[in-house]
């Protein structure tokens, strides 16, 4: 894996090779990383792995014709050959009126903001092993836990560099650390499974292994002896670990490419009130140590904090250069990029601002409802907004969480669900997409 400076120089070299080979414009992205992963089960080492990899991707333009190629071979002479082949490919490609690099005047200039994404450390295999064992031991120590699927710990670092023929050059490094545990509770056919997992840019931001393990064990035990559920329309509360998926569907629906293809249930919703006026959803790429933080997007545009939903109202699409041109708009720093292929779109660190009531207060007036901690399957139609997912969680009876329930379905339409959504006050910034507990009335629950 190259250093930041080496990675940027290699990307710039590939851009120069593309221009020398006859391209009118080009950009190149280097992505490299190394990670160590340890897993244990029943107190013994089960697997240890070390992975290292690097890849460089080139996108170039000959007029309005383009081609994208990538390679894990980084020798200069091989990259020159790669550029020549890509130019030949572009000349044979159809014209795309929306193709091209980001406008030069829109590129990020000046120093990048310091986001503290790399703690500079990497735990060794033995330290990872001890952390994984401690997490599993804590989970197995919870009364009622009967077996283990294991504990895990990992650490890694990655380097990203982007260069364009319009003069942009930027790079950054990120570290990543994670801990997990997964266990079973109960005996025989009555066993239930659950887990706990956390990841952070800095190792010091992770909970201790014992906390991760205890949470996994308690979650599994809480699911024992599930009750039958009687279906019908009722209020549904989404635990924060699954509620973020609802906002994930929103992000997919407001992506510029989906809008340009007219393949979204929010096609004509710009400027409309999709949520209650108390709901604001923010994309914050400059959060310190954020899992999705970055100073520039996949096309070299600066990123900035923005309100995707402002007091209930949809304010913007997630745009890259191509989708912005198709829609007659300006790109807004949401391009994503891998070493291979053209840029996509995406958000960074997204969160819904908390409400004013606790989760207990949100459910206090619910005579009969469900509290979801698990969602299963992919039953979401991004064109119509129809929503149907397998689920597990707990009954809410007379305003309190009571018995566990499993193997049921929750259904509705996302536009209706957004309009009915009420956030609690328990927001925590522990994921890339963070929401508080969410209450959604009027969903259909079926056994």
Q: For 220-276, how does the pLDDT look when each residue is reduced to its tens digit (9 = 90+)? A: 999 999 999 999 999 999 999 999 999 999 999 999 999 999 999 999 999 999 999
Give the whole-angstrom CA distance, residue 21 versus residue 290. Answer: 39
Give exposure, 243-261, as e/b (b: 16+ Cβ within 10 Å).
bbebbbbbbbbbbbbbbbe
Two structure tokens written together for 363: 């459910």
pLDDT above 90: residue 123: no
Give the whole-angstrom CA distance, residue 179 versus residue 73. Answer: 33
Task: Write the pLDDT tens digit of every residue in 181-230.
Answer: 999 999 998 999 999 999 999 999 999 999 999 999 999 999 999 999 99
Residue 396 pairs in a beta bridge with: 369, 401
Task: Write the pLDDT tens digit of every residue in 126-171.
Answer: 999 999 999 999 999 999 999 999 999 999 999 999 999 999 999 9
Measure the CA dihedral 350/354/358/363, to 10°. -70
Helices 76-92 and 4-20: crossing angle, nearest 10°? Answer: 50
pLDDT above 90: residue 121: no
Task: Give φ, ψ of 313 to 5 degrees.
Answer: -100, 135
CA 417 to chain centre: 21
DSSP 8-state assignment for residue 432: S
| Terminal-to-terminal C-alpha distance of the chain | 51
Give residues with Cβ within 8 angstroms of 16, minimum separation 6: none
Cβ atoms within 10 Å of 25's Cβ, excluding its own:
19
Cβ(163)–Cβ(13) below 8 Å: no
Residue 33 pairs in a beta bridge with: 53, 158
Two structure tokens written together for 207: 């909970």
pLDDT above 90: residue 301: yes
Cβ(169)–Cβ(203) below 8 Å: no
Phi-psi region of 43 (alpha: psi -120 to 50; beta: other; left: phi over 0): left
Two structure tokens written together for 225: 């002896």
What secondary structure does DSSP assign to 10-40, as a single string? HHHHHHHHHHHTT-SEEEEEEEEEEEEEEEE
Helix (H) or strand (E) holding 69, with range, is strand 65-71
Beta pairing class for 232-238 and 368-376? parallel
> What pLDDT is stored for residue 420 in this prediction?
98
The CATH number of domain 4-221 is 3.40.50.740:
no
Helices 209-222 and 125-140: crossing angle, nearest 10°? Answer: 30
Instruction: Write out the residue limits of the CATH 3.30.2290.10 domain(s) in the chain.
Output: 4-221
Which whole number is the average pLDDT over 36-61? 97
Instruction: Residue count of the chain, please give it.
Output: 447
Q: Classify 187 as helix, strand or coil.
A: coil
> What pLDDT is stored for residue 215 in this prediction?
98
Give the whole-angstrom CA distance, residue 273 versus residue 262. Answer: 20
Give residues with Cβ within 8 angstroms of 261, minimum separation 6: none
Residue 48 pairs in a beta bridge with: 38
């Amino acid at each position: 894996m190259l250093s930041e400076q080496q990675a940027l120089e290699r990307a710039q070299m590939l851009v120069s090779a593309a221009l020398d080979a006859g391209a009118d414009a080009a950009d190149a992205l280097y992505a490299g990383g190394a990670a160590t992963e340890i897993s244990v089960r029943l107190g013994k080492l089960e697997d240890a792995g070390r992975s290292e990899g690097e890849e460089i991707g080139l996108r170039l333009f000959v007029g309005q014709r383009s081609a994208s190629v990538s390679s894990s071979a980084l020798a200069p002479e091989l990259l020159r050959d790669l550029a020549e082949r890509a130019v030949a490919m572009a000349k044979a490609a159809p014209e795309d009126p929306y193709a091209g690099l980001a406008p030069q005047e829109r590129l990020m200039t000046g120093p990048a903001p310091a986001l503290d994404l790399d703690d500079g450390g990497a735990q060794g295999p033995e330290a990872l092993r001890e952390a994984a064992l401690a997490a599993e031991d804590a989970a197995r120590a919870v009364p009622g836990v009967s077996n283990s699927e294991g504990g895990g710990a990992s650490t890694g670092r990655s380097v990203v560099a982007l260069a364009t023929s319009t003069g942009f050059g930027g790079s950054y490094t990120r570290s990543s650390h994670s801990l997990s545990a997964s266990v079973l509770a109960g005996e025989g056919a009555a066993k239930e499974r659950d887990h706990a997992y956390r990841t952070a840019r800095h190792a010091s931001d992770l909970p201790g292994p014992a906390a991760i393990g205890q949470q996994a064990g308690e979650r599994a035990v809480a699911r024992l002896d599930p009750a039958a559920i009687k279906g019908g329309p009722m209020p549904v509360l989404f635990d924060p670990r699954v509620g973020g998926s609802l906002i994930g569907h929103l992000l997919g629906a407001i992506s510029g490419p989906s809008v340009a293809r007219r393949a979204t249930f929010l096609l004509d919703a710009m400027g409309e009130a999709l949520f209650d006026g108390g709901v604001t959803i923010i994309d914050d790429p400059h959060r310190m140590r954020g899992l999705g933080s970055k100073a520039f997007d996949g096309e070299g545009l600066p990123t900035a904090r923005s309100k995707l939903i402002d007091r209930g109202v949809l304010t913007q699409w997630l745009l890259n250069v191509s989708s912005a041109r198709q829609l007659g708009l300006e790109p807004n720093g949401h391009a994503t990029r891998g070493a291979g292929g053209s840029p996509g779109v995406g958000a960074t660190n997204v969160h819904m601002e908390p409400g004013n009531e606790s989760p207990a207060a949100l459910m206090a007036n619910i005579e009969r409802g469900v509290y979801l901690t698990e969602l299963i399957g992919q039953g979401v139609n991004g064109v119509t907004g129809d929503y149907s997912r397998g689920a597990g969680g707990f009954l809410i009876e007379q305003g309190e969480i009571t018995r566990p329930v499993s193997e049921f379905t929750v259904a509705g339409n996302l536009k209706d669900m957004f309009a009915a959504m009420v956030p609690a006050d328990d927001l925590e910034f522990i994921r890339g997409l963070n929401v508080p507990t969410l209450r959604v009335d009027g969903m259909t629950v079926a056994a």
